[in-house]
Chains A and B, each alone.
Chain A
Amino acid sequence: MKLTELFQRGEFVVTCEVGPPKGFHIEHLLHEVETYLKDRVTAVNVTDNQSSVMRLGSLATCKALKDKGLTPIFQLTCRDRNRIALQSDILSAAMLGIENLLLLTGDHTRMGDNPQAKPVFDLDSVSLIHMVKKLEQGEDLAGNALEGEPPKFAKGAVVSACSDSVDVQLAKMERKVKAGAEYFQTQAVYEPEKFIKFMEKAKQFGVPVMLGIVIPKNAGMAKYMNDNVAGINVPQEMIEELKKDKEKTKAGITGVEISARLIKECKQYCQGVHIMALGWESKVPDILAQAGI
């Protein structure tokens, strides 16, 4: 099922991100997904060597999820593949019956666990979206015809809604929409007022936007994200709130409460929510219940 069809029906779409393991054993991942996410989220989004850390492939993991009856979203970054490999992987996804894509530039190889690697970036996110659209029209990026019926996907992209240079991000978002992006998910949001302002400006593009949530596990994680992750700012009051969590040994309950609160405050302004649980998939049902979804 394509996410775009659900957006068109006016459904509030809920997706959750999972990161494949650093190895090929995915029993644990499948167990977590089946226990905590199946029937609770619309689709499961599989990262592509997230943060440039080498892991099991997104495409293979998507196939395993599909076999378990879930709807996977195939994340594809430009960091590791040239346009031939990217197009080939898109066709492979089509053959495996994967209908949802999230198309990204990707972090630089220097950010990850194989920093010696050559970064590819043959294409970037905008030209990647353009490329998928061309495949959907029955030809490859160079204009050569595909055999048979062309594939059709729901083409997703990302935007940093609370970036310190949100106007530069909005300009890129516009380019992505023009290239063919059909829905967006945002980087983690901790400042609803900034997100609402962003949505007022993003409305003009007429594409559905999913609020990005990273569950704040503790104060240390929040501070780390403030120092190291682009487009994320966890306000000081929220860090204080998380510190109290530890004092009362509530072990993550505050993170769940904050996530649910953020969703409640923002949901009337957006068309869905995308939760990046970073291993805390078990908290997702609670978050959704508390947020009234």
Chain B
Amino acid sequence: MLITQLKSKDTIDTLIKGKTVIINCHGCKEVCFPEHEAAELQKELSATGNIMEVITRDYICNPDNLRLQLQKYMAKINASDIVMVFSCGVGVQTVAEYLEDKKVYSGCDTYPLPGFQGVTPLEFACGQCGECYLNYTGGICPITACSKSLINGQCGGSKNGKCEVDKDMDCGWERIYRKLEKMDRLDTLNYPAKVRKFWNPDADPPKVD
């Protein structure tokens, strides 16, 4: 099991700067999603007039399923500036890869819970680290895509774009940099030095209904 918890309204406000499509992922039995709080928050956000569409689907972590589910919304998505995803880290990464030219942001942090991890067909990994970095990294997770889980950029160990630990593995930070470069969004890397929180005392405890 895992729990997704909404990022604070302040954080989300800083991300929604333009026409936005929201994608919620419900229905996955492995994830405890704050449906009520998300609906309240999204109602508030809709009052700003930026929200073009709120889509609620399940298993967006499956790329084929995601493609089919988004088909009828693609005109709106193409016309939007931002796609805000409320799901676990795997869902956000799947959307970010599928909509590769879009600003795809995560509205949630993902926490682990002991127990059944389900049969979700994973293309991506989510470390369930409780502090989702995908909004800084073009939707590529530095915790799982980098052998050292670095959150402030590439180490000196990458060679020909490959990781020092596993020469078959792409350097996560090379991927992050290239994606941001392609999107003309390298300015995203101007965030102040981040210090990883392994336990997040600032966050409210994850809520379970």
Contact = CB atoms under 8 A, between A and B. Distances in A.
A105 B156 contact: yes
Contacts of A108: 147-148, 157, 164-165
A123 interface: yes
B164 A111 contact: yes
Contacts of A178: 192-193
B150 A231 contact: no
Interface residues of A, number: 36
A187 interface: yes
B196 interface: yes
Contacts of A83: 195
B156 A230 contact: yes
Contacts of B157: 107-108, 111, 230
A167 interface: yes
B116 interface: no
B153 A230 contact: no
Contacts of A268: none
| Interface bracket on B | 20 to 34
A107 B193 contact: no
B43 to A, nearest CB: 36
Interface of A: 83, 105, 107-108, 110-111, 119, 121-127, 129-131, 141, 158-160, 163-165, 167-169, 171-172, 175, 178-179, 187, 229-231
Interface of B: 147-161, 164-165, 171, 173-174, 177, 181, 186, 189, 192-196, 198
B165 A126 contact: no
Contacts of A129: 193
A121 B193 contact: no
A131 B173 CA distance: 22
A127 B195 contact: yes
Contacts of A159: 156
A169 B152 contact: no
A127 B153 CA distance: 11
Contacts of B174: 165, 168
Given A108-B157, A111-B164, A171-B154, 9 more contacts: A83-B195, A105-B150, A108-B164, A111-B157, A111-B165, A159-B156, A165-B171, A168-B153, A230-B157
A124 B153 CA distance: 9
Contact of B153 (A111, A131, A164, A172): A172
Nearest to A227: B159
B177 to A, nearest CB: 5
A68 to B, nearest CB: 30
A107 B164 contact: yes
